[in-house]
Chains A and B, each alone.
Chain A
Amino acid sequence: MQKTVTLWSFLALFFCAAFFPIAWMFGSSLYEGGSFSFVYYHDIFLTGKYAGIILRSLILASVATVFATLMGVPAGFFLAKTDFFLKNFFKVCFFIPLIIPSYTIGIAWTNILGKAGFLNQFLSHYFFLSPQSIYAFIYSIYGAAFILSMNLFPLIMIMTEYALKNIPSPLEESGLVCGTFFQVMKGVTFPLISPVIFSGMMIAFVFSLSEFGVPSLLQLNVLTTQIFTQFSAFYNEKAATALAFPLIIITIVIFLLEQFKTRSKSFEILGRSGSQVFMKYHFAWLRVSGLVFCTVLFLITIILPFCSLLISVEAFKVYRDAFALAKNGIVNSVVFGGIGASILTVVGFFLGYATEKTRWKLKEGISSFVWIFFAVPATVAGIGLIKLWNRPHGAFQFIYGTIGIILIGYIIRFAPLSSRIMANFFRQMPQSIEDAGAVTGASWFRIAGNILAPLQKHGIVATWIISFIFCIGELGATILVYPPGHETLPITLFTVMANSPENIVSALTLLLIGMTLLPVGIFFLISKYVFSQKITP
């Protein structure tokens, strides 16, 4: 009873926080002048007025996905299948672009390929390219796709590497007995991991489609930025809502397709134990290729952007100025991020448990329902929150005018992720561990507090850290709903980009990156020092 009430309470909380705003927003967009109307949807779908914007969004997402796949699959392959100099170093470094906000990479690359950027000057001098065309590239759809792919390739890399490591070696060895390396790759290895790659591509596509930061930075007219413009510049919230509709439909369809694909193919190789032996190749040419590929990737995705930001800061004094400018934003980011991550961890713990460890018949449906919200674009979530909570006469001012509205935004956007992470940790825990507590007559709260939580401490810490990283980098929803005096660092950065010197922007970007990477570093130290003290399952 305790368990059922607790879990349903958290599901209800998520439902209220996430589903209501979105449903309310769409519901109200269907009313015009006091009656039912499709006028805004008619504009979008039947006049062709927005066809170009939808097409640009799809091109951006498709090209970013292709770029990310071209970077991620080979990187994952080399990291999984061969050994080469600095492999582990590359493996750790390639996580960085994934965890820092995508627009920080965008800021760096607009420096690099901007009119005064060093790579722009180098390419125009030695490769006879026009500086204007290089500049135009980075501010184009393809430039945005290139930047987004740097943010997303680690996702595909990790999935590819994990999938390759879970192919039992006899499957490839039996192929090598009668075929060449390339025949085995083509006939055995890649067909086996293709569902995983497909899944990674789908996730990358959805992320690119719903991305707001990079297109906004590059002033591209795509769906997410158009929604923001309609809402904040033209105050046409119904048009903004209607524009969100195709975005939501596309993302939901793709997420469901990905879910269906991964379930029907069942990620067969991903489901196996990671402890089994997997095949590695020790050809010299493969090692050299791995080293060269990873070095180039490292240069493009990490060294160049970071050096560019560091160089453009010029002097230490700039950090002081930037810090003074963004002090409030930094404090708010840390405080809101900390509170948000803590709430998300608690919500994730119970939702993860509900979707993984219960025997509810609706469990699968609930899991998919929760996961779909991860695909809801940030700007859509923001508008939904405003529509629901910004009531006449300030009825909900205690939420709308406070940190509460930002925290609800975090729940909409990241509770699906935190619950998925916790669910994965719960999956590894045998049911008997909990049953052993239950047969002693312990209440479910006692079992949760004394058995589940201590055993899931890795999961809880990992969920908190990941939630914190996402919360402090969140821009799309927060920028729409933050009350005065509650701006976060990304908002400060977004605001000063237009009217501050490049060195201040770079310094702020580095501060944000530092704030993102710091908890990850602390987590690694904690896991190395504290968690190794006791053996855990």
Chain B
Amino acid sequence: MKSLQVKQLVKIFDKKEIVRGISFDVENGHLLTLLGPSGCGKTTTLRIIAGIEIPDCGEIYIDEKLASRDKKICISQKERNIGMVFQDLALWPHMTVYENIEFGLKTNGIRRDERRKKIEEVLQSINMQKYARAYPQTLSGGQKQLVAIARSIITRPRLLLMDEPLSNIDVKLRQDIRREIKRIQQETNITTLYVTHDQEDAFFLSDRIAVMNEGKVEQIGSPEEIYFSPESLFVAQFVGESNCIEVNIAGINRIVTPWGELSHPTDNHTKGTAKIFFRPHQVKIDQSGCCKGKLVKRDFMGEWYRYHVSSSGVEIVLYDENSYNVGKHVKFSIKEMKLVSF
């Protein structure tokens, strides 16, 4: 069953299309991440689904019921039963942790004793019982994150929306909270739509990822599909480090690379240019390799090195565990590559 379906969604602000006909869906209990650079329309999409913004075109189905069609709202914000974690968390500073979490329950008319029971349960699940009477300002960054998540799931929403909740915290804490989000999402089995520009968050948390660019969805797939089989140049370049080299198509399934002509599927194209894509770790320094190059730059990355190799008029990036001096001539081989753009 699909908990969320978005079809041909469009949103225009000041005559500019911010969301340009995007479509995707999320299976019940799954976590889908909208991944993309700033300004690509992912937060706007989230706010439309939450009912905070009104779309200009398109349909939204929640639990297979029509929530909105074009500008017409079929399910009101209140009836959508959505939880949301905001980028700045938006904890109400005049309310205690307990009161922050309680607000949604009060709104839904839950009785006091039932409210208390639910709040105690959720506080226990995030190990924050002793902070129930604390004000948000007295909590650490990580604790605030947990309270914001607790507030959003207390009503057992049909859909949980998370708008870059980890963007304002340091790297170490980020990893801890990320794990906590994954645990809570899996335990509660709440269908979640997560918005981020951070690939690590997306890869770690997601069942599926939708990569967005300039208001459109470029590709939807599992994290592995997105990483290893990008369907567009943008996805190839935005997700992870990559090498994209221009090649000529010499005929059906024949391409001319800087290192010579080779056989590769060309999707029935017989001429023109395209780009081949491969990740740095798909390149190996290998004395039996057929490509030659010169190391022009070396970056120490801890457990491995990042090398920039100048070869046949192009520069590629590769990773290797061994230390080589800059200026050394090496042979290398490309284990796998993909044609991504015509």
Give residues in A with beta carbon < 8 Å to B.
Answer: 430, 432-433, 435-443, 446, 450-451, 454-455, 457, 534-537
Chain B 64-91 interface 0/1 with A at a Cβ cutoff of 8 Å (1 = within): 0000000000000111111110111111
User: Contact: A536 with B83, CB < 8 Å?
Assistant: no
Q: How far is the CB of A214 from chain B (nearest CB, A)?
A: 43
A451 engages B92 (CB within 8 Å): yes
Inter-subunit contact B84/A435 (CB<8 Å): yes
Contact B94 A436 (CB under 8 A): no
Whether A442 and B107, one on each chain, are in contact in the complex, defined by CB atoms closer than 8 angstroms, is yes
27 contacts between A and B (CB under 8 A): A430-B90, A432-B86, A432-B87, A432-B88, A433-B90, A435-B50, A435-B52, A435-B90, A436-B84, A439-B50, A439-B82, A439-B161, A440-B108, A440-B155, A441-B78, A441-B81, A441-B107, A442-B104, A454-B94, A455-B93, A455-B94, A534-B94, A535-B93, A535-B137, A536-B93, A536-B94, A537-B93
Tell me, rounded to whole Å, the shortest Cβ–Cβ distance linking B163 to chain A.
8
Please give, as numbers and ranges, the residues of chain A lying within 8 Å of B161 by CB-CB distance. Answer: 439
B51 touches A (CB below 8 Å): yes
A438 touches B77 (CB 8 A): yes
A440–B107 alpha-carbon span in the complex (Å)? 7
Count of B interface residues, CB-CB < 8 Å: 32
Nearest-neighbour CB distance to chain A for B124, whole angstroms, equals 21
B86 touches A436 (CB 8 A): yes
CB proximity of B73 to chain A, nearest CB, Å:
11
Q: How far is the CA of A89 from the CA of B3 in the complex (A)?
A: 63
What DSSP secondary structure best describes chain A's contact surface?
helix
Give chain B nearest CB distance to A487 CB in angstroms. Answer: 42
With CB as the reference atom, state the residue of chain B lying closest to A455.
B94
> Which of A435, A436, A454, A455 lies at the interface centre, i.e. has the most chain B CB atoms within 10 A of its CB?
A436
B107 contacts across to A, CB distance below 8 A:
440-442, 446
Given the known A-B contacts A535-B93, A536-B93, A537-B93, are A440 and B86 also in contact in the complex, defined by CB atoms under 8 Å?
no
Query: Which chain B residues lie closer than 8 Å to A441 at the CB level?
Result: 77-81, 104, 107-108
Given A430-B90, A433-B90, A534-B94, A439:B84 Cβ within 8 A: yes
Which residues of chain A come closer than 8 Å to B91, judged between CB atoms?
436
A535 and B86 within 8 A (CB) = no
Cα of A536 to Cα of B92 in the assembled complex, Å: 9
Query: Which residue of chain A is the closest to B105 with respect to CB atoms?
Result: A440
Which chain A residues border B103 with CB–CB below 8 Å? Answer: 437, 440, 442, 450
Report the minimum CB–CB distance from A436 to chain B (whole Å): 4
Are A432 and B90 interface neighbours, CB within 8 A? yes
Which of A435, A437, A442, A534 has most chain B Cβ within 10 Å? Answer: A435
User: A435-B47, A435-B84, A534-B135 known; 19 other A-B pairs, CB under 8 Å?
Assistant: A430-B90, A432-B89, A433-B90, A433-B92, A435-B52, A435-B90, A436-B86, A436-B151, A439-B77, A439-B152, A440-B104, A441-B77, A441-B79, A441-B81, A442-B107, A443-B78, A450-B103, A455-B92, A535-B138
CA distance A442 to B76 in the complex (A): 11
User: Contact mask B127-161 → A, CB, 8 Å, 1/0?
Assistant: 00000000101100000000000011001000001
Contacts of B135 in A (CB 8 A): 534-535
Give CA–CA (A298, B325) in the complex, Å. Answer: 74
The 8 Å CB contact of B88, one of A430, A455, A457, is A430
